[in-house]
Structure 1
């Protein structure tokens, strides 16, 4: 244990939902990018039902940062202890506990305790971690409360699907097209603009404008985490179209003996109150699910087929 001062913070929110529902939302880290605004991606490394170990990417104070975490789950007590095994700077150590208390059949209280240290207790570093912890923790509890309180309708608001295409070409060329999102304007018909910043290797911040046949151009922003050796790109939209509360996904390229399979996978949380304003009076969740599935499926298929053309054309040229 270091001699640095331990800084502590506690955040809590009352939730109009059963304690078991709230605990379920915080217990599954793989869903956090969809449910928790600062979370971009969770790469689970180990999980045995009690001990959870994962690499996590988040936004903190306007930057994308990453750390390796361990958690210990106690489902009976509805508590989860966590600590960063390899903390993200400037934190020297960071840990805490999630606790869910039942306040009746349909009510609960969610509490998040944090404690952290920084090297030499430098004021500027303490301030940075405090600001990130405060901002992210409040955003997490606010969104978890909103999601938990619509728990009886949550299944209808969640949508997951994928598109795929077979390609007779090398995985490297397919991945090259998917990675090169800055070049999509002029190559991908529905993309009119893509501003890309890669301030750290493999982490892309993207501002994109897309066109649709039945509405004005859409402005979105996303973070993409790229794994070139695995031919994977995971992404989360940090600014979404109004119909989507959250949108995460993954581009992946899977080689085999005869070529590759390129996949586009999507996870969506619909914004219920936006359905009628976007799709028209009298429309409901079923129409929204169909609309989003068809739109994102069509866009993904367009990109995958252009990646196929890119890879197969290069092979023929060679």
Structure 2
């Protein structure tokens, strides 16, 4: 059974700007709510292979796709090479059509196959839901009425005495964090059969108040753990990150990476008037780096306390 769906939206920005964004898949997780992590694996001429981890009806799915670029027509054709069940085939195209110099129409077309009407309905609902969220996100990013946005990346390295396996196990065992990290009041970790997991944390602030955050997490080869918050607190409009654990000269190096975004509207609501985007980025970066440093310090303390 085969189905074709089309989703479209008009965006008040030049077609080239949207096309360039769609062509850079490694930034999708900053903007597209369903995308947890995306990376380019190969690029040869106008053809690339990408791998994507994205949420589908509350769980994380993973697939590999081939994309073919046509910059003149502003089209990107895609076909899943490793298809996420229950689909047996998934292809489609992004098309950006100029309406005038500063307005364009973005079309997202999917063609998919599945074996039963129930599977078709499941895929159609998931495609409809995620496509609508992605097109809405494009509008928010490029519509001037939503205010200017600024995205930033921080990377910090720490050397600790725990072994690499101990450090990475600590990060993976997030359900145990309430017994290991003082400011974590509660943790609930849900692992999905298809891979990936969802971590819901309740943390304490210095003033004693608590707040909840939720993140989708994916373990990657080479002691790497990527994550993305589904609802961002404070002035953040997006936040994703990565833990990397390596052995360097007989010691353990833990690298913490944060990608985050703020907007004019978000900083005014949370930080008050008069705070610039650059100032907000600096404040958020310092807070995230402090949280990472606290977690990494706790890794050493924990492994020493259990008899390392």
- TM-score, length-normalised on structure 2? 0.93
Distance 1:146 1:185 in 2: 36
* Aligned twin of 2:110: 114
CA gap of 1:186–1:168, structure 2 versus 1, over 3 A, is closer
Query: 1:75 Cα shift?
Result: 1.7
TM-superposition CA deviations, 1:49-78 (whole Å, max 9, x none): 521212211111222111111111122221
Stretches of structure 2 that go unaligned for 5 or more consecutive residues are none
Q: CA RMSD in A?
A: 2.2
* Aligned twin of 1:179: 172
Moved more, 92-101 or 279-288: 279-288
Distance 2:144 2:258 in 1: 21
Moved more, 123-132 or 210-219: 210-219
Distance 1:150 1:176 in 2: 44
Please point out which of 264, 289, 299 is paired with 2:256: 264
Please point out which of 241, 245, 257 is paired with 2:237: 245
* Aligned twin of 2:29: 33
* Aligned twin of 2:222: 230
Moved more, 174-183 or 40-49: 40-49
Query: 1:219 Cα shift?
Result: 1.6
Distance 1:186 1:313 in 2: 12
Moved more, 196-205 or 177-186: 196-205
Query: 1:312 Cα shift?
Result: 5.9
Stretches of structure 1 that go unaligned for 5 or more consecutive residues are none
1:239 match: secondary structure: coil
Moved more, 8-17 or 281-290: 281-290
- Alpha carbons 1:164, 1:301 under 8 Å: kept: no
- 2:149 aligned with 1:149, yes or no? no
Please point out which of 57, 62, 77 is paired with 2:58: 62
* Aligned twin of 2:268: 276
- Alpha carbons 1:25, 1:148 under 8 Å: kept: no
TM-superposition CA deviations, 1:158-204 (whole Å, max 9, x none): 11102220123421011011111111124223322211111337522
* Aligned twin of 2:184: 191
Query: 1:106 Cα shift?
Result: 1.2
CA gap of 1:273–1:100, structure 2 versus 1, over 3 A, is same
- Alpha carbons 2:224, 2:244 under 8 Å: kept: yes
Query: 1:249 Cα shift?
Result: 0.8
* Aligned twin of 2:213: 220
Query: 1:257 Cα shift?
Result: 2.7
Query: 1:246 Cα shift?
Result: 1.2
* Aligned twin of 2:285: 293
Query: 1:152 Cα shift?
Result: 11
Please point out which of 12, 16, 20 is paired with 2:12: 16
* Aligned twin of 1:165: 158
1:185 match: secondary structure: helix
2:33 match: secondary structure: coil
Query: 1:19 Cα shift?
Result: 0.9
* Aligned twin of 1:73: 69
- TM-score, length-normalised on structure 1? 0.90
Distance 2:92 2:50 in 1: 16
Distance 2:203 2:193 in 1: 25
Query: 1:305 Cα shift?
Result: 1.7
Distance 1:44 1:50 in 2: 13
* Aligned twin of 1:43: 39
Distance 2:208 2:147 in 1: 28
